A and B are shown apart, each in its own frame.
Chain A
Amino acid sequence: MIEARNITKIYNRGKFNETAAVVDISLKIKDKTIVALTGPSGCGKTTMLSMLSLILTPSSGEILYDGDGVLRASDFWKTVFRRNNFGFVFQHINLLPQYTALENVLLPIYASDEDPAQYKERATMMLDELGIADRAGHLVEQLSGGEQQRVAFVRALIKNPRYIFADEPTVFVDEETSKIIYRTLTRLRDEGRTVVISTHDVELMKLSDDTFRMCKGRRA
């Protein structure tokens, strides 16, 4: 289970442009569920998701995984924890433009002790499941937005992570890709993964087991 206790994030603290993106939020996310963070643009969903996924350090508060606080752990520990447990899908997709779809999918493997070549078959199979196997050898810039998002999904799932964090996964994609994403997320939950998403998408909210609404950095 993921638990956030009184999480606050203030950017540029003490400066003229100080911004409180998230203020005193607490929440619990059960295992094997889909949880949606919702709310209007600029309400702090992405910041909250980033803090839960340990790629952004809160200004105060605590985050616990299975009851253990993780924020005081070293940067190295958090990096290894992310490597072994997390999969990420970003709002802006964040693929490396100089790499092919397949190479982007294999990127997380380079940080591990495993041979990326051994994952090629699995990666190709997963790309096929999302209908873009024929695009595996194409550079990212040669893919459409929907195709890129599907590549990002495969990259997030390539190491079979326990937690998947997806930031507005359907915001820039077409209807067909959105449907694929809904199916994929549902399947992941059914397979026992925990999925945390930030979204405006009503369909995504519908298939979520729990929803946390945010407004101006606070829980609404």
Chain B
Amino acid sequence: MVGKINNYGIGLRHQHLQQVIDEKPNINWFEVHSENFFYDNLASYQLEQIAQNYPISLHGIGLSLGSGDVLDKNHLHKLKTAVDRFSPDLISDHLSWSSINGHYLNDLLPVPYTQESLNNFVNKVKQVQDFLGRKILIENPSSYICFKDSNISEWDFFAALPSLSGCGLLLDVNNVYVSCFNHGYKAQDYLNCIDAKDVKEIHLAGYTEKKLEQGTILIDDHSKRVSDEVWDLYQKIIQKIGNTPTLIEWDTDIPDLSILLDEAKKAQAVLDA
């Protein structure tokens, strides 16, 4: 490991791996999707080289911790192998599920906010942490629906995870904004519940507005620059919780590396203010 993750970083995708090796851009750290580096291929070889010069965060999208299925031990073993290989400073996954009965949806799907679901999620996080022998971070979701059975607020469910499982929190500010807009929640209610000491990383990304017959819904597609509203919310959060490692995510219509680095510098300006 080359050092600790701090200040600003960017999500690193396949098309920029070689450019990062060649140009060694001025950035503090990179985050990759863990599952894309489970195999012994060119991308993994490239990430090994990058990890010699930058701290790395492994951000999972496949553990499906909120699923009613048992944890996939094969997936967990592959994650452990990647952790041993790349020595990440941080490891994270999502408050979501993506598989049931062996079917995979390649998406981060919402869980119902019930005691059964909370017990299930906490149990899975503990299993992962026991297996890896270290803490992981859990990211709050962006959602478009609410389940009838939910009787706990999203922010209470999310904020309870550290004390119940020992995990840390990855606070995605765009997800807070998208969920609050879509469901009519107040972002301040969400943030008031979060204990600053639990937040170990922040994500920023862009969303898309979709017009439906009954109104506008925000889709968290990571396809644009961070919106002004999300920058404002991010400033308020940093004022409240202090300097926290912050990542720019971009997963759809991925732009030139220079644009990602430009967005990351905006985050640094907020951290420095």
Whether chains A and B associate is no
Chain B contact residues, CB within 8 Å of chain A: none
